[in-house]
Copies of this chain bind each other. A is one copy, B any other.
């Protein structure tokens, strides 16, 4: 059921072809079928018009497989994040188009590859260890219909490497910046570009990084006003909201 179908249904109601109760009933029961343990919400795909996403953490491989199987039937693009090896294997078996990204623990089925964005999304990371989070953001944004440019390992301690990428950064419509430790990179990038910057603190670090808290607080206190922040290690969220910002 896509938004066209919904519009059709509502028109039928207006025209008296379908009465309100029947319409309500169809709308209510059709889009999210009850799998027993989780209500797969096709409404969300309908509302956001993109891929369907399964957040794999805290779900068993069996649950993930069952949810993904339903989605594969109904949606063109499916993204499964935070999968274990076992869950990845099961989802990959569901479709010949499935790709597994072991570093970022993502599986995607990417059948509708039409570009939908207004421009490029740049995904930047500070250090080698931040790449998994950056990859999750990049794969998400790409699957949502965006051209993505990845720029890795440009941490602030070697500011020249970052400066060299200034023009690439300035060409992006949205910039996602992933950094752990002190989390300073989004502030510097934010000063170089006029696009919105989505900062992703990563849990990379040790000691007083407190599993990403230091980076998170740093980003929330950024002196660059074009920076907003998502949860620690939330590459998916950053890629997702970057896609929304990039839509026409």
Contacts and interface: CB of A to CB of B under 8 A. Distances in A.
Interface of A: 28, 32, 37-39, 41, 43-44, 47-49, 53, 57-59, 63, 126-129, 131, 152-161, 163-164, 181-184, 187-188, 190-196, 198, 201, 203-234, 236-237, 240-241, 244-245
A58 B204 contact: yes
A157 B228 contact: no
Given A28-B164, A152-B37, A230 B232 contact: no
Nearest to A236: B225
A159 B188 contact: yes
A198 B228 contact: yes
Contacts of A63: 128
Closest 8 CB pairs of A and B: A207-B232, A184-B184, A58-B129, A214-B217, A228-B228, A157-B191, A182-B218, A38-B128
A193 B48 CA distance: 8
A226 B214 contact: no
B217 A221 contact: no
A216 to B, nearest CB: 6
Given A49-B194, A188-B159, A192-B159, A220 B231 contact: yes
A32 B161 contact: yes
Contact of A156 (B48, B188, B241): B188
